[in-house]
Structure 1
Amino acid sequence: MKILIVDDDPLVCQSLQVLLSREKDMEVIETVNNGAEAIGYCQHTIPDVVLMDIRMPVMDGTQATRQIKQDWPQIRVMMLTTFQDEQSIRLAILAGAEGYLIKSTEVSGMAQQLRTLVAGTSVLDGEVLKRLMQPEKEEIQQLTPREKDIAELVVQGLSNREIAEQLFISEGTVRNNLSIILEKLQLRDRTQLAIYYWRRI
């Protein structure tokens, strides 16, 4: 198993590299310090698993995960972080991460979770993963399919420009739809929209 470690703390990178390399079936092929470097590395070498921190300079783990899963869907992404807050977990899963571990996890347990991930099984319960990725339909039934698509991308942290590029529509269309979404749900701004979704998933 080839592992790429992404963390802005050199000590964390070094420690994980030493500990995981002791596992006979694991090889840490590189350590990098932010999401942009992770994407750059994947352009010439494809790891089996990326161990990804969430909060990093230049590009955070959520943004990097979204890009990696879009360009190389075969790569498995395991978030490894000290942050256990609900928002961080939900955004990571929405970005495409298949697993979420806390840095205090014992290495033996982490190694087993990585094996499970590479075998094709999420480290999260299937129903939990499903609920994290898709709000209950009855809560958003008043939105059109296009409005739902835009709302979900807003919740994932994409800008109007990024949403427009992904959905092949204009930024003006995104802005107009977002105004309609906020009016329908009686919300004030993008932050309230995100909170609305998090409470329903």
Structure 2
Amino acid sequence: MIRVLIADDHPVVRSGLAGMLAVEPDLEVVGEAADGEEAVALATGLRPDLVLMDLRMPRMDGAEATARIAREVPGVHVLVLTTYETDTDILRAVEAGATGYLLKDTPRDQLVAGLRAAARGESALSPSVARRLVQQLRGGDERLTTREQEVLALVARGLSNVAIGRELYITEATVKTHLLRAFAKLGVDDRTRAVTVAIERGILPGA
């Protein structure tokens, strides 16, 4: 059972999401937060598997709340679900440690699939968000950094984000950031495809 905390300042949105997730046999909504501070407090107390996080909220915004949760409640994944897809919003959320970034107009089946993937620590990105990340990371050079290549090589060996963090002496949130940046540069949205494309391009050695 995947335990989910919903953080959104609109009661109707929270209610709608809770109702949508209630019909899924493997998902359980364990709490609702109306702002970022409440999201951090509930994440600390309830320790859900996943926080479904809005970005624009009073008292503390979603990016700051994501960073606090990543720092103070390790093991709790955050999936940003927002109407906003500006470059600044996306990069702030990713750098804060968000596992994924989906838009509120994402079709229901894709949202639920993304939620399950994020709960496993896998990245979930809306296609338009992935494109914006690619554009943002284009500084005239889309090559993977040495660290991004190291992370992908360990993904290819079948290691989880936690295990990769241990291997490279970095936090799980940092592993996710490197993965999301690698996904954006490779134009993919999941781990398996990232490894496949990296091998095809000669970035990683083939089997």
Q: Does 1:98 align with 2:112?
A: no
Q: Tell me which residue corresponds to 2:8.
A: 7
Contact 2:54 2:81 in 1 (8 A): yes
Count residues with an aligned counterpart.
138
| Larger Rg, first or second structure (1 or 2) | 1
CA-CA distance at 1:131 after TM superposition: 7.4
Whole-angstrom CA distance in 2 between matches of 1:85 and 1:103: 14
Check 1:90–1:51 CA distance in 2 against 1; reply closer, same or farther (3 A cut): same
CA-CA distance at 1:43 after TM superposition: 2.3
CA-CA distance at 1:133 after TM superposition: 10
Whole-angstrom CA distance in 2 between matches of 1:52 and 1:82: 11
CA-CA distance at 1:73 after TM superposition: 2.2
Which amino acid letter does the alignment assign opposite residue 70 of structure 1?
R
Quote the RMSD (CA, aligned, Å): 2.7
Q: Does 1:77 align with 2:70?
A: no
Whole-angstrom CA distance in 2 between matches of 1:65 and 1:55: 12
Contact 1:93 1:132 in 2 (8 A): no
* SS class of match (2:47): coil
Check 1:132–1:119 CA distance in 2 against 1; reply closer, same or farther (3 A cut): farther
Deviations 1:66-106 (A, max 9, x none): 00000112111000000011111111101110100101112
Contact 1:4 1:51 in 2 (8 A): yes
Contact 2:9 2:33 in 1 (8 A): yes
Q: What are the residue-to-residue correspondences of 1:34-183 with 2, within 5 Å?
A: 34-124=35-125
Contact 2:43 2:51 in 1 (8 A): no
Check 1:133–1:62 CA distance in 2 against 1; reply closer, same or farther (3 A cut): farther
* SS class of match (2:29): strand
* SS class of match (1:43): helix
Whole-angstrom CA distance in 2 between matches of 1:122 and 1:58: 27
Whole-angstrom CA distance in 2 between matches of 1:19 and 1:105: 13
Whole-angstrom CA distance in 2 between matches of 1:112 and 1:104: 14
Contact 2:3 2:29 in 1 (8 A): yes
Q: Tell me which residue corresponds to 1:193.
A: none
The two structures have a TM-score, normalised by structure 2, of 0.60
Whole-angstrom CA distance in 1 between matches of 2:135 and 2:49: 24
The two structures have a TM-score, normalised by structure 1, of 0.62
Deviations 1:23-82 (A, max 9, x none): 110001111100100111122210100000001111110110000000112111000000
Whole-angstrom CA distance in 2 between matches of 1:76 and 1:134: 24
Q: Does 1:33 align with 2:34?
A: yes
The percent identity for this pair of structures is 37
Give the unaligned 5+ runs of structure 1: 139-200
